[in-house]
Amino acid sequence: MSTIKDFVLRIYNLCKDWIVANGIEGIVGLLLGLFLWTTGQKIFAGVAFGVFFTRNWDLLKGWVLSKLK
């Protein structure tokens, strides 16, 4: 039973850390992109998703560089 609790806690902490690392730019970019896409504003949604993916690319690049050092 404790392994399930540990697994859920690890997933929760991983998601929380990702949200904190993304910051306001990443979260708003994702939410705004989803909203704009559903309303048919695909060009503006692309810009918002670009902000989101750029922020995540920075996080991934930093993680990979930290593993290589």
- pLDDT score, position 45: 95
Task: Quote the pLDDT of residue 1.
Answer: 59
Residue 22, pLDDT score: 86
Task: Give CA–CA dist 47/31, Å, rounded.
Answer: 12
pLDDT tens per residue, the chain (69 residues)?
578 889 999 999 999 988 888 888 888 999 999 999 999 999 999 999 999 999 999 989 998 999 998
Identify the pLDDT of residue 64.
93
Please tell me the total count of domains within the chain: 1
Query: 59: which residues sit within 8 A by CB, 6+ positions away?
Result: 18, 21, 22
> Which range marks the domain in which residue 64 is found?
2-68
